[in-house]
Amino acid sequence: MKLIIFACLAAVALAAPQFLEADTSASIEKDERFDLGDGNFRYAFELSDGTVVEASGTPGEEGGVNIEGSYRYVHPDGDVVEITYVADERGFRPVGDVIPTPHPLPAHAIEQIRFAEERRALGETFE
């Protein structure tokens, strides 16, 4: 019985997907931190593998912290990925080439919107 259990465990272990191990050989090239404790802060990190992270924060109007920042890294396919962002009372707003964007509206939809706005400007209402 023990042999059967051992054989089953060995089969499961061999059948498990072999995950790629992350490259942990990058060293820290830059590490800067500044924090006043009142919502004003700045940090910047840079690794030898090309990863760069920077952010700065200021107190927000509604008691939170407003943050502007960016990060950049080298994708496994060799492309450099860069994201800049703002996080404040209006939410988290990232910008970057890798972020999906909605498809543009088709011409007939744009025409319908224009027509509806034109009619609304003339005082017509839609129910």
Has residue 3 been placed in a domain?
no
| Residues spanned by the domain of 81 | 23-121
Low-confidence residues of the chain, pLDDT below 50?
Answer: 1, 19-20
Has residue 10 been placed in a domain?
no
pLDDT of residue 63: 82
Has residue 8 been placed in a domain?
no
Return the residue matching tokens 């042999």: 3
Return the number of other C-beta atoms located less than 10 Å from residue 38's C-beta: 9
Has residue 83 been placed in a domain?
yes
pLDDT of residue 10: 55
pLDDT of residue 19: 47
Has residue 28 been placed in a domain?
yes
Has residue 49 been placed in a domain?
yes
pLDDT of residue 62: 80
Pair 63, 52: CB distance under 8 Å: no
Has residue 104 been placed in a domain?
yes
pLDDT of residue 6: 54
Total of domains in the chain: 1
